[in-house]
Amino acid sequence: MEDASNTYAPGDESPAASGSSYAAPTPAPDPDIGRRAFRQALIDARLLYASAVDGIYGRSGLFESIADGLNAAISKLGADQHAEVMRFPPAMPRRDFEASEYLKSFPQLAGTVHCFCGSDRDHHRLLARLEQGEEWADQQRPTDVVLAPAACYPVYPVVAARGPMSAEGMVVDVLTYCFRHEPSIDPARMQMFRQREYVRLGTAGQIVAFRQVWIERGRQLAGMLELPHEVDLANDPFFGRGGKIVADSQRELKLKFELLVPINDGAPPTACMSFNYHMDHFAHAWPLRTADGEPAHTGCVGFGIERLTLALLRHHGFELAKWPRRVRETLGGL
Ligand code: AMP
Ligand code: ZN
């Protein structure tokens, strides 16, 4: 890996070799050492602002300008898709969330929005609990809103409500913050992060062809950004014992591929893009139909905006002026 700038020297943090003559068994490398070091370097350089909660960060102006550059590069790559642009807030109706069966597969990641809906008396109780440092959140009531777990989820009910699609099907361009409850010290595993996606809806053949095109374009983008990468078969983190079977079947059917980039020293490479084929799953949740009335198939390509930004910082350093010219041009002349 290249030197990542004068502010962050990867490898510094490895445990020093001891000079003792006792040949202790080599300890397995701790992937968290590299993660912690990179996280600290980002915070020290004020690229990310830490909070009291792992995985919730503020982003600096520099970080955001890289993120904006990435979004512009992705738009350029997808200009021929004639995608309908849809922008949703990072929340969606609870009813749609239930229909999506997200809770069946990933209950551990879901975030629901709860609010105070009580009386004056309840309010006094709430304030008393707060004052005494007691738990108060169990008094909050669920609302009709949940946090978006992926950028494409709000698209399906909107398209389904329009009735059958045309024979060409459609492509939708989405970008939103997503929530996943996976607190971690890994700076690349956030609890709220942005996904930019192109979502394809249509026939099975249209989705499979779309995904192939985007795997190639993903590789092309990573190449233009001069990021070391590989594309590999993947699976989602389905919950529980039953989840193992679902994950195995997802792999067997080759439904998910990821583009991985090494970000943290001593840790496995990180998924920065994913290429997904959902078959007709979402047509069972909502009446998504093709032109001839068949259940529509769907797929999406997702770009992890924070992870790609972190990968760029990791490989090209913290000073934009020192980044390769081609990379800066790809990002719209940063
Ligand atoms: P997925 O829907 O899990 O395939 O995620 C799509 C993309 O979002 C991934 O390839 C990552 O780049 C990004 N992503 C997923 N989870 C996280 C996370 N916890 N923190 C930051 N980025 C994430
Ligand atoms: Zn998606």
- Contact yes or no for 197/302 (Cβ under 8 A): yes
Choosing from 59, 174, 178, 199 the residue with most ligand 1 atoms within 8 A of its CB, the one to mutate for a pocket test is 178
Q: Do the Cβ atoms of 297 and 203 come closer than 8 Å?
A: yes
Residue 158: CB atoms within 10 A of its CB come to 14
- Map out the domains of the chain with their CATH numbers: 32-111+149-330 (3.30.930.10)
What tokens does 325 get? 């010219």
pTM above threshold 0.95: no
Tokens for 54, please give them.
């792992």
Q: What is the pLDDT of residue 29?
A: 77
Do 164 and 202 form a contact (C-beta atoms < 8 A)?
no
Q: What is the pLDDT of residue 30?
A: 86
Residues of the chain with pLDDT under 50: 1-7, 10-20
Nearest-CA residue for ligand 1 atom 18 is: 189
Alpha helices in 132-233 (DSSP H): 155-160, 204-224
User: Which of 195, 257, 276 has most ligand 1 atoms within 8 Å of its beta carbon, as the pocket-test mutant?
Assistant: 195
As a whole number of angstroms, the distance between CA 35 and CA 42 comes to 11
Asked if 63 and 47 count as a contact pair (C-beta separation under 8 A), the reply is yes
CA dist list (Å): 86 to 158, 166, 175, 197: 10, 18, 8, 10
| pLDDT of 107 | 98
Secondary structure (3-state) at 133: coil
Atom 1 of ligand 1 has which residue's CA nearest to it?
274
pLDDT digits (tens, 9 = 90+) for 292-323: 999 999 999 999 999 999 999 999 999 999 99
Q: Indicate the pairing of strand 84-86 with strand 170-179.
A: parallel
What was the pLDDT predicted at 26? 74
Amino acid at 17: A
Residues in contact with ligand 1 by the CB-under-6-Å rule are 150, 180, 182, 188-190, 193, 195, 258, 271-274, 302, 304, 306-307
Tokens describing residue 29: 């490398």
Q: Can you tell me the distance from the alpha carbon of 206 to that of 224, in angstroms, rounded to the nearest whole number? A: 27
| Protein residue whose Cα sits closest to atom 23 of ligand 1 | 304
The percent of the chain in helix, strand and coil, each rounded to the nearest 5, is: 35, 20, 40
Q: Please report which helix (H) or strand (E) contains residue 141, including its range.
A: strand 141-147
CA distance 38 to 32: 10
Tokens of 282: 């979402």
The Cα–Cα gap between 40 and 185 comes to: 10
pLDDT at residue number 14: 40
Give the per-residue pLDDT at 21: 54
- Strand boundaries in 160-247, DSSP class E: 170-179, 192-202, 230-233
The helix or strand, by DSSP H or E, that contains position 104, with its residue range, turns out to be helix 102-105
Tell me the C-alpha distance between 134 and 161, whole Å: 45
